[in-house]
Structure 1
């Protein structure tokens, strides 16, 4: 049985609005998903931010992306992407090479090891996501996706 935000938070008084309850529910759900995904990554010896970069760079293809482009695509914003990329380069997951045409541009690309790791994670990530959301019907998932997109669109325009 699911609980509402006031129940989860052990509130003695009702929340002020449905919007407040919805926002608190989103925060709590987001944090639970974040905690579970971070634990998944930690068990495998890397961070959720590193997995996010691997996924982003795989999607970028052979041309790679510059630091700022990676920063813009990260799900969770972080101030020091350079340090994150340094650690990933030391681990042999990514490689950075200065552009021959623009010395200021330093694209980051996956190494063979980074590509293998992100590919190896595809199955376990799908399994993890199904364990989190597989109890929802396709219709519920579509509604959730569409509702979140509408919320994001509004927030991005403010």
Structure 2
């Protein structure tokens, strides 16, 4: 009987309990690989992807404000602690929070000039990261992938709290 070299890679046959499991694990693995590229960009300026997303959403309504509950609902991924996310951005001078006298329970958020400037500085690097992530796919494949992902999450979305990509 022939011996297998000690450094030979062990081949393990993949098996999944269902096609749904295989697809889910592929989504998870893909997210992990693509997120590492994004993390490089945001890590250079000490932001998380969620913080960047919050700033982009605030820029979309600038010079107006957005209630924190609306902002939290429009983020791409849920923020379990919106207060802490906003605290960090406010400490850096990237946003301002204010309570309206007519309803002290509602906190309104606005992006600052520094927040706008940071988004401008990141623009090209973010575009390059998207190119690195998915630029190898043609436009037809990108459209199909986007449509399939939207279909996959649609039954799990709250119609009253859609992210900006589903509006």
Give the TM bin, normalised by the shorter chain. Answer: 0.7 to 0.9
* Bigger mean CA deviation after superposition, 30-39 or 89-98: 30-39
Structure 1 stretches of at least 4 aligned residues deviating more than 6 Å after TM superposition: none
Tell me, yes or no, if the aligned pair for 1:49 and 1:76 is still in contact at 8 Å. yes
Give the Cα separation in 2 of the matches to 1:128 and 1:13. Answer: 31
Return the index of the structure with the highest Cα Rg.
2
TM superposition score normalised by structure 2 = 0.80
1:50-129 superposed matches below 5 A: 50-129=51-130
What is residue 19 of structure 1 aligned with on the other side? 20
1:6 maps to none
For structure 2, list consecutive stretches of 5 or more residues without a partner in the other structure: 1-10, 159-167
TM superposition shift of 1:138: 0.5
**Deviation at residue 13 of structure 1 after TM alignment:** 4.7
Length-normalised TM-score, structure 1: 0.84
Q: 1:147 to 1:13 in 2, by over 3 A?
A: closer
5+ unaligned residues in a row in structure 1: which ranges?
Answer: 1-9
Per the TM alignment, residue 104 of structure 1 is displaced from its structure 2 partner at its CA by 2.5
| Conserved 8 A contact 1:95-1:109 | yes
Report if aligned partners of 1:63, 1:107 keep a CA contact under 8 Å in 2: no
**1:48 matched residue in structure 2:** 49
- Contact 1:64 / 1:107 at 8 angstroms: preserved in 2? yes
| Aligned residue in 1 for 2:30 | 29
Compared CA separation, residues 13 and 132, structure 1 to 2 (3 A) = closer
Residue equivalent to 1:38: 39
Counterpart for residue 3 of structure 2: none
Give the SS at the match of 2:105: coil
**Within 1, Cα distance between the matches of 2:14 and 2:132?**
33
For residues 116 and 11 of structure 1, do their structure 2 counterparts lie closer, same or farther at Cα, with a shift above 3 Å needed? same
- What is the Cα-based RMSD across aligned positions, in Å? 1.8
Number of matched pairs: 148
